[in-house]
Structure 1
């Protein structure tokens, strides 16, 4: 795929440097590569001529029900539609014809509280919020709402689910582990500690496809049901990612000296664990 063009869902996005040197990410609003390529060429030509490109303006104030109407058409093609349909219907009942631009973090947190008071489990409410976040991601792709609204929606944190049996490392244990890591392993471990992602998810991360430093998220696709996971990037992880040199010969975040992605770090990780335990 051409540099500066990438996909989010079925829609192509473009990436280019604005007049001020800052990176601009813009939806082409199309699922056709050639149309995205033409838009990118147009934007770069405008910058070359010293003009600030005028981004696509959304004039209509779409409502939540209008988004859900389009989202249902898209979701029908997904394997997860049956389980997701119930969440979508309940969200539609709650927000109805509320304009998309009215959505913010407080509104969603109030929704979480109301559902808890009605006896819903945190895990169920989290599925509602995850579905809503994904619907708003599609809304931006479809030019139904601006990215700023999506940014506010994404800030709503999921509720803790008290059904995990994992043992979490203490702050001291985490730091001890980081201190014993080899240079190539350290950013991988920091990513794992700050995201909870699985090993294969971390080693498969690509800069253009998954890392959104501007909005502060790692975006992951779940192959099983087609949903997109959005993992917040905290300051520790941001600092770590920004220190990693980006190679022109590889799209991956974590690569060896030859520019190839790491397939496994089991041996070096076990070694770091042994050293950390003293």
Structure 2
């Protein structure tokens, strides 16, 4: 509304559900704003040198500051604006001086990530860990040279090109939001190019390695049963409460069923830890990974072969709750790093990650003659190019193929 701002006008003004702006007719640019809570603050409205409409708060409220005193202060500031000053930009510059990477991440970006991405906590944790030495650095101090220096140091310390690229990609996303939200004026990583990543070798298990892995799983379960039996004998002798028995035909914990499912379905570890029993159809032998749990965001239906189906049926009998593989507290399982590392050590298998079981699944399918498009659908890839990477054939399999060109004598 337009009116001459007076003490009587502001005193009689009633708050509404929305902000009320009063544009003074006595001094052009002088305004008073009433919030829905009833607080009245003085400010000015003006056009900057770029012609953009700006609003600047004088930091004064009614009735603590009289209308005449506020109007006089507004007159002084408007005079400075006429001389080329931009108070709103100066205020933003002051805020940028003290807004550090860590503060922006904690107070703004992490919250945005949590609402707008499925892996928000993971991205925030990556940023904190990767750029820990720069968390106290103001955002406006970041530039391409600083990032190039950081990258060189990390590469010298042994960080791979792919990991370096992922870290910089995460930081690039943060600065994109910082520019969008006015925390900084320009993107400091706009000229930083990503490193070329060497084509990674797809790792799968040889026949002998798979035999050793399965044997290690069986041996581990036998040891756990023996340890439980021994522990209960000790407790019984002392009349302590016994621990739950580990019967034959049951799994001792989540590790073996998770490994068997990964080998037979190509499921990611994160997909398995988020899996609910409602997504497992044992009657029709189908397991569903819903879009909010998959990397691509698309729902994927995986048919269960006999081993995967038997595994889930057995595990179902001894499982309670809604989560297929719950942690000790009953919530989602966090990680299996220690158990997995010990298993590989016992099986004498090196350089093999949990995710490599996904490569193993895809490679075995291709070597069995399954067409690439079907493999793509089972893996949940939107692009066939990704499937090609996951489904390279073993050298001995290629050798057997070209050997067929030889004429038999």
Q: Which has the larger radius of gyration?
A: 2
**Higher relative CO (CA 8 A, sep ≥ 6), structure 1 or 2?**
1
State the TM-score bracket (shorter-chain normalisation). Answer: 0.3 to 0.5
Q: Which TM-score applies when normalising by structure 1?
A: 0.38
Q: Which TM-score applies when normalising by structure 2?
A: 0.26
